[in-house]
Homo-oligomer: A and B are copies of this chain.
């Protein structure tokens, strides 16, 4: 199956047109929305989000990923094979954490070009057809890939002590993996210190806390309220680990 991971939003024609493009080269492969609201034009925060959610998707899933503020510029169109999953999208750091955490990783540059390539919608015109071929079993060469390392970002930390996603309830996902910090750890965000709790119902209403979310990330929440509003925090806000 193919998961879509983009910052396009569900509104507008973008997701629908990309799915229609996938249907043409991968008619037998189910397609699911993972995120259509990945961090807007922020490949770094998106990279930590993607790497975490890959872990909670079925083994062998493929990922068509577009957070691409430099579309039309000089970042390479790229693909990554991790020995079971294909990742296709811009080589702008979006796959940095997936690659770093993978046991096996092969990088490619997409050499194939469609007859007509729009300047602003490579997701539909370039990345979707290539992903469709790969998910249907084509080899790297058949899908127009050439082996080539993609740009790397060695300065990015292994875990990011910052907010990387805000959901509709105002819960704040961070770039910290739950398994990397002890439950006795305190986090400070927006001037407020928070302790760990198992889940919402273990905390008094209105109190901020942190917990391990359903995809293995440290997440900050307020029982019955919005952590984003209470802590005046959003995507990119930095935390202290105490």
Q: Is A15 an interface residue (CB 8 A)?
A: yes
Main secondary structure of the interface of A (DSSP, over half): loop
Q: Known contacts A23-B1, A124-B214; decide if A53 and B201 are in contact (CB<8 Å).
A: no
- Give the chain B neighbours of A17 by CB distance below 8 A: 32, 34, 56-57
How far in angstroms is the closest Cβ of chain B from A48?
A: 14
Complex contact B118–A72 (CB within 8 A): no
- In-complex Cβ contact of A11 among B4, B37, B73, B124 (8 A): B37
Q: Is A13 an interface residue (CB 8 A)?
A: yes
Return the chain B residue nearest A5 by Cβ: B13
Complex contact A213–B33 (CB within 8 A): no
Within 8 A of B (CB), among A16-32: 16-17, 19-20, 23-24, 30, 32
How far in angstroms is the closest Cβ of chain B from A65?
A: 13
Chain A positions 188 through 206: 1 when the CB is less than 8 Å from some CB of chain B, otherwise 0: 0000000000111110000
Q: Known contacts A15-B33, A17-B56, A35-B13; decide if A121 and B70 are in contact (CB<8 Å).
A: no
- Give the chain B neighbours of A165 by CB distance below 8 A: 12
- In-complex Cβ contact of A13 among B9, B71, B169, B215 (8 A): B215
Chain A positions 110 through 128: 1 when the CB is less than 8 Å from some CB of chain B, otherwise 0: 0000000011110011000
- Give the chain B neighbours of A181 by CB distance below 8 A: none
Could you pull out 13 A-B pairs where Cβ atoms are within 8 angstroms? A3-B20, A4-B16, A9-B168, A12-B35, A17-B57, A24-B58, A40-B169, A71-B200, A71-B201, A72-B202, A119-B199, A119-B211, A124-B214
Complex contact B214–A120 (CB within 8 A): yes
